[in-house]
Structures are given as structure tokens and as C-alpha cells.
Amino acid sequence: MSGRKVLILLGSPRKAGNSAILAGRLAEGARSVGSEVDRFYLHDLDINPCTACEGCHREGSRGCVVDDDMQPIYGKLADADSIVFATPVYWFSVTAQIKTVIDRLYAVGVGDDNILAGKNLGILMVYADSDPFTSGAVNALRMFQDISGYLGTEIVGMVYGTAAGAGQIEGNEQLLEDAFRLGVKLGGG
């Protein structure tokens, strides 16, 4: 048992959608090497936008002062060895659910308050367009690269591809296999 912890943040409103299916495969891969996997379906949670109150960066502050469902996720982020963002492309970027969580990382990813440095990241992304550029996936992947560079994390892998209707990704065995393998990498250290 590696005992490594993998945290998956699900950004689609579709519980059984394509990104959730990829995330399921990644979780299987991580568990196959003894990892503990936690998944949060963000759409069901009460997570509010960052208010830029700066309460998180005040002297003696104990993190984000917004009391909502982001609080347990902060604890899981601190414990995790690997963090996975699973999202469809919405309007040439990530979903609002994912972006809201990213904004809330302001409390734990900046300067002396950065608890994320050194962790591993995994990115899972799906889009309806046949091309990663015209779909907007490349914008979102680049955003994750910039975020990772800023945080001092390492992107271990990005698995992305085309699917439209919920579940269509099941027909892409290669992508599912890639997601499983990324889970093995993230889970096995």
C-alpha cells in the first residue's frame, strides 16, 4: 500500500458525464496501487466565489473566512498528495464550478500561505469539438500550466479528448486507459 492520497474535484454538473467517467477510471488506477481517493462533486456543494476580503492573508489568519462547503475541501487539499481537476470545456475554458474553487485557492496558494507547493496535479478534460484548439481546451490546459507554475506544483499528466453526449467517452478506450494510467502515476508516487 502506497498510502498516497488523491483528491478529485469534479467540475461537471453531469454526475455520470464524460469527465466523471474519466475521473472514475483515474480513481480505479490510483486505488489499484493502494491510494486513498476522495471525490467531490462540486455542483452539489455550496461553494461561493472569492470575495477578495483578504481575510485569509491577515496577520494571524487561519485561512479562508468564508464559511461554506469549501472548508472541508481546504482540509482535503492540505492532506492530498495529488489533486485532480476533472472538467468539461465550457465556453473555451473550465466550468464555473472549477473556476470558483480555483479562485478560492487564493487562501491557500499565495506566498507564505501556500500549502499546495510540491503536490502533484492531474488534469482531465473533455470537449465536444474534434480539436483541442478550436474547442478551447488548450486555453484551459494553459491556465492549469500557469496555475501550477505559480503554486509550485507539478502537472503529472493531462488526459483530454472529444466527447459530446453524456457517456460518449466510453467509446474512447484509449482515453479511458490514459486516465487509468494517470491514476496509477498519481497514486503510486
Binding footprint of ligand FMN on the chain (CB under 6 A): 12, 14, 17-20, 88-92, 126-129, 135-136, 163-164, 166
Given 3-state DSSP classes, what are the helix, strand and coil percentages for the chain, each rounded to the nearest 5? 45, 20, 35
Check: CB of residue 113 under 8 Å from CB of residue 66.
no
Closest CA to 81 of 25, 143, 2, 147: 2
Return the bridge partners of 40, or none: 9
CB of 84 to ligand FMN, least distance (A): 14
Return the bridge partners of 7, or none: 38, 83
Is the CB of 85 or the CB of 90 nearer to ligand FMN? 90
Using Cβ positions, the residue closest to ligand FMN within the complex turns out to be 17
Is the CB of 67 or the CB of 173 nearer to ligand FMN? 173
CB of 159 to ligand FMN, least distance (A): 13
State the DSSP code for 69: T
Is the CB of 24 or the CB of 136 nearer to ligand FMN? 136
CA atoms within 13 A on the CB side of 117: 9
CB of 44 to ligand FMN, least distance (A): 14
Give me the helix-helix angle, 18-32 and 173-188, nearest 10°: 40
CB of 111 to ligand FMN, least distance (A): 33
CB of 187 to ligand FMN, least distance (A): 22
Q: 129, exposed or middle or buried, with CB in 10 Å at 0-12, 13-18, 19+?
A: middle
Is the CB of 39 or the CB of 57 nearer to ligand FMN? 39
Is the CB of 23 or the CB of 64 nearer to ligand FMN? 23
CB of 139 to ligand FMN, least distance (A): 9
Is the CB of 88 or the CB of 157 nearer to ligand FMN? 88
Q: How many whole angstroms separate alpha carbon 104 and alpha carbon 50?
A: 5
- The x, y and z cell numbers of residue 189, run together, are 508516487
